[in-house]
Structure 1
Amino acid sequence: MPAHPTASPDDIEMSSIFGALKRNASKLLLTSAVLGGLTFLALTQIAPKYQSEAELAIVARSSSNSFPDAKGAAGPDSVTTKMDKEAINTHVRALRSTDLLAKIAEQMALKDKPEFNAAVGPVDKADSIMRLIGLGGPRAGESERDRVLNALRNQLEVYSAKESRFIGVRMTSIDPALAAKIANGVAETYRSTLASDSVVEIDDQQKVIQGKIEKLMPEVAAVETDVDRYRREIDSYKGGSQNIGLNEQQMSELTAELVRAKGTRGEAEARAKSAKEMMKLGSADALPDVQKSPLIQNLVQQRVRIERQISELSASLLPGHPRMQQLNADLAGLKKQLTGEVNKLVDSLEKEAKVAQGREDSIKKSLDDIKSKVVTNAPEEAKLRQLEANAKAKRTELENLQTQLEGNRKKQDTRAAPVEVKVISEAQAASVPVFPKKIPLSALVAVASLIFGVAWTVLRALFSGARSGGVTALPAKSKGKASAAQRAEPVLASVPATESTPKAPVSAPTVASASTAAESNIANLVRRLVAKRPEEGGHRTLITGDSNSIEPGAEAIELSKAIADTGVTVVLIDWSPSGKGIAGQAGIVAKRGLTELLSGDISFDEAVNRLPSSTVHFIGCGGSLDETDSDIEPDQLNLVLDALDEAYDHIIVSGQHEDARFLFEAIQGRFDAGILVADGKKRQTVLDDPAGSFLGFEVSDIDVIRFERAATPQAISQRILRAAPKNGGEARPA
């Protein structure tokens, strides 16, 4: 039967809480008002502080790289360097440097102001009070310069905005004008310092660049002369739009010409081959070249005309007729002439193919000659390229230096040095102090004190009875006067169960004797438990109080006897790890029991006893776990309970609230029913288990019952003891 712990809400009886708050409302409000007023008076003794802020922008400085990108359109002045986070942090640290702050302190005579030099005097009344109690004033051994710089550094804040190049210079002072003046002074002094350093740096660069130019100019002239001289020696010249060598240019042209010659030769050979094949087949008239020839086309037309005449005259003239003979002779002559013209055309195609082959061979020979020349001059060409690269590098370096020299000269003429820091926002004198905020702070103290007072009042109310979980006992004077007829009959109530668990009928309250009332309600409980008993195995019931102040032993004993009277076997287990069980209430002398049974020191026969005047078997709690120095193993507990399931129809376990909760959690809620004994005179609070839970655990298959009693446990115990034998001796083992 799985069980899961749930958090129960706090038991706050609103009537008690509101009553305590109502009684202490005037004190709480008065205390809050007094504390708020005292805070306001204390803050008035502190000199107000004003804050001013100047903003700087860190811009990328002109690059000093002597080799800008030749392909780019921008000059060296527009080439910017990447401003990384480390560079920004460097400026932040530099703005708080000792030298810079010393200049500001000297320019503004901060040593004469009490705010920065404690030796001059107190700043305000609060400072005067601190000096009187020995907590203020200048420190011994500290120089005036150190005092001023430390005070200035403490009141000056320099920060950089995240993911930006902006730096804020924030100054706090009791004088708003002085705060703005110091913030602007720090920003402007730092900017001018960097600007002057840049001008000096440019002058130094000019001298270095001029020296490099004077040294490079003769070197460039010498290497370029060497290149021209060596090119003439190896007869390697360049030309064309690409400015490449003549040999390379000729190789490129011959290669293109060779490709065209191969194409022409292939086309001519294909035409000649096709003409020969068509002549063999007798269809030379279909050749494209034949159809393009005017002479052949004229002969073909004449042949067609003569053939038509022969066809027309053959109908009226015999073959031997002179006209027919003449036409046949003309036709034979035309065919012979036509065949000769076609043969001439085919011969011309073959000659054209041979000419194309010859041209291709000639180009190949010329190309091979140039290749041989290039291979022969390869070492010289490599040396020439090396000389040219050296000359080009020298020339590029000289041009870059000359460009940079000209740019620096313009900057010198205009004194327009590259600025690295720009002041984008000057500090202004503030009109509203940033500290102290008298009204907000006073209100905050008043509200905080009120909240603290309310919390303290609520806690006191809770601990004084709003969360009382014990049984409300009758006053001593009324105990003897309360009669059985004045007590309400105990009511059996249960927490709503599942649909398959019908609620037991609850009898209406009646005026009867204490014994009769108890038996009547126990009978209802017995009927419910007996009805829930499974067909196989035993029915486990855990009975406990709804708090540690309620002892469920009397109800457990009475319930066990009542169930046994129905003719079933019942065993009552006293669960008390501390060793303080209910054996005394049951009229049994305490002896070894469940603790020793779990540890294996005794057997079931030695652990089981019988309740006096009943067939109920009883297993006492045994010794304390602390005294026996043994631990409870859940597996051993389950084995013992499983064994009892086989031997008894009902197993009833009784224990106090915390002990029962420990057992319930240890065996993972393996019970069929759970009974919470509650005080009938105490109303149910939100701390009680909600529906579907038992001992703070969510349960699903357990019949949870709330048994409210009216009679005190002492009365029930006395009734049980009166029914037990007077000797109270040891019960006979079962």
Structure 2
Amino acid sequence: MPVVSNQANDIDVDLGRLFSSLARNWLRILLVALCITGLAFLLAWLATPLYRAETRILIETRESPLTRGNAPADADRPILDAEGVASQVQVISSTDILKKVATDLNLASRKEFDPSIDMSLPKRILVSTGLMRDPKDVPADERVLSTFREKLKVYNVERSRVIVIEFSSEDPALAAAIPNKIAEAYLGVQQVAKQQSNTDATQWLQPEIANLSDRVKEAEGKVAAYRSQSDLLIGQNNSVLATQQLSELSSELSRVRANRSAAEANAESLRSTIRAGASLDSAPEVLSSPLIQRLREREVELKAQIADLSVTLLGNHPRLRALNSQLNDLEGQIRSEARKVLSGLETEAKTAAAREASLQRDLDALKQVSARADDQGVELRSLEREAAAQRELLESYLSRYREAMSRGEGNYLPADARIFSRAVAPVEPYFPKILPITIAAFVASLLIMAIITLLQELFSGRAMRRAGQGFYDVDELAMPAAMPVAALVEERELVEERTGTLTVERAAARLIADNAKRAIFVSPEGDEAAAASVMVAREIANSGQRVLLLDLTSAGVASHPMLDGQQRPGITNLLAAEAQFTDVIHADFYSDCHVIPVGTADPETAMRAADRLPIIMRSLASAYDLVVVECGPTDPEGVARLLGEDTKIALALIDPADETVVASTEAFARAGHDDMLLVSPVGAAAGRNGLHRSAA
């Protein structure tokens, strides 16, 4: 058996008793849950069904490479970044587009979009009483747009350039028509914007082209005038004449120098050969002379004849001597002719030297002219660059102008977006989903009612117990250590048979069997007999029921031992409005019973509110299984306010033959309380010795 704890301030929650309240109140929880579920089902069934459809737009370049003039290499890249796509979302939901769609579809004539059309009777009453603003005070366009925006949702798909236009409506056809119409209006707005931009561009380019044409003419005129005034005449190969002549003269001078050097070298070589008397056959200039070539041929013929005749004739033969003489003459002629060739070479070298000197003088003069031309060329190139830049800009403007004019005349200005998924009329509404709503309402109501029941059980204090407090068997009897259990039981049965009274255990069993909600205890003999109510309350509490003892004695003799003599707020504080129920209900230190002591307020002040006792009793009876009231020595009129349904009156006595007991019994019998219980706290002494927590 667990030992009784004396901890006065620590309170534990009895989880078993707490959650057993769900089983005791299962019918109430189920009925409330079914009612809420039925209401949710009815509301979902009567709710107006809403349909939702969506149109998807892809932001991309619609321009064809075949129609895009002078397109850069990166022209096919996406035209918008994440911020640009977000900006297009705002454009799609702009007021201008929504107004156009509302006008095209005549949304102002639909009750769904204009709350001022066919207002219900409750709304008319609220408007007439000033509790609700009259919708007609708002302009019709604003009313339609306000409802339009509530039903419209435009957003872009994350990490993409897809924009979704979503709309909900009571009409499935309208739910599909509006997003499609918004998408078409958006593409139309883009095309109009491009047309306007194209028109603005052509209007701006026209005067710019005219101005640029004049500036190009002026710049090219300056180039031509400067070229004519300077020495920068253009020759062949589109170069300055002085530069071209200088180049040609330099080439001629180089050629003349080469010829002079070659002539001098050839003359010196031939001169050396003649002086040395060497053969002239090695000199190319001698061999190239036609006369020398003929003389050499004649020399060969003579040598051939001499060779032929030498075979048959002697060396002194006149014929041979004549031929040798002719041969010697030919050698002299060849050398004479070689000297003439040498003289020609020397003359040629002198002529080349004179030509070289002349060309050098002309070259020096042209260098001065070319230097002046270079200085003038710097200025000329500057003028040409200016003219070229103006001409290039003019050609660019002309190309853009012609392109803009052709696009405007051909009306080819595609929007940078396309509809790749059009909305279709939905078949099923997205709201209300009757089955999910009903199931959710049932589950939520069950959960909420379970929580409410647990909170009621917890706040009522019925699920609280003193920390460390043990449990005892209800059938155990308080007895002295030296007295056998059988002897004590026999003594109690004898007393009950002799006096007609009930023991504490029998009285507790009777109250439980009769399903009593209130037990009013009267103690004619005073404080000692008041222990019976405490013992009965503890006995019933130990059986698992929720029991509260209300102490209405003047000295608090019933609650005083239950709280170890501590002064706590009680019934007088509650009647005097100085405390609430949670402040005056306390836990018994030695059982699962709860107790409301007498309290600390002024009794006279509390008695002025005695009429509140019936209300307090009803509240306590609804929260507890049994309310035990200890009234002390009182008469039937004193307990009249405490009576109610399922009330039992018990007379606590020690000596049945006591005059006060007999008088009190007769008084209650005359008042119609013939079935009151007579309870005797026999064996209470053992309980008071601390061996059983049922004792006071």
Q: Give the TM interval when normalised to the shorter protein.
A: 0.3 to 0.5
TM-score normalised by L of structure 1? 0.41
Larger radius of gyration: 2
Which is helix-richer, 1 or 2? 2
